[in-house]
């Protein structure tokens, strides 16, 4: 079956512009996660959705970052007024439920470059 998809795969934007990243999780997965990964580093948790609600937004680095999920499916991560330090790969993952008992399935990521 279809895996997690993300779009765009690459995004180059100028500092100060807004960007929107999209994630299509595996059908039927109620949990959705956004992570950020800088070069050679591990994953930095950004936000977790259970259904359409986001019980934990604690990982969002600043108020320039926001995310929503509609219909319990597609999610978008929006970064306003991008800064160079926002450059990273943004990974989306979905899971059957929101517990650590289930593996997370990852999308290919969106590589964001802020110039």
Kindly list the residues in this chain that would bind other proteins in the complex (CB under 8 A): 31, 33, 35, 41-43, 45, 48, 50, 56, 91, 93, 98-101, 103-109
CB of 17 to other proteins, least distance (A): 26
Kindly tell me which of 33 and 82 has the beta carbon lying closer to other proteins: 33
* Phi, psi torsion values for 84, nearest 5 degrees: -60, -30
Contact 54, 107 (CB under 8 A): no
- How big is the CA angle at 112 (ends 13 and 86), to the nearest 5 degrees? 90
Kindly tell me which of 47 and 114 has the beta carbon lying closer to other proteins: 47
Q: Are strands 10-13 and 110-114 parallel, antiparallel or unpaired?
A: parallel
CB of 21 to other proteins, least distance (A): 15
């Amino acid at each position: 079956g279809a895996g997690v998809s993300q779009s765009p795969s690459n995004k180059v934007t100028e500092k100060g512009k807004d960007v929107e990243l999209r994630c299509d999780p595996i059908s039927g997965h109620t949990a959705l996660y956004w992570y950020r990964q800088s070069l050679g580093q591990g994953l930095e948790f950004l936000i977790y959705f259970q259904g359409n609600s986001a019980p934990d937004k604690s990982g969002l680095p600043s108020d320039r970052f926001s995310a929503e999920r509609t219909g319990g499916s597609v999610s978008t991560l929006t970064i306003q007024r991008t800064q160079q330090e926002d450059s990273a790969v943004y990974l989306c993952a979905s899971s059957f439920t929101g517990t650590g008992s289930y593996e997370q399935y990852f999308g290919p990521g969106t590589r964001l470059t802020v110039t």
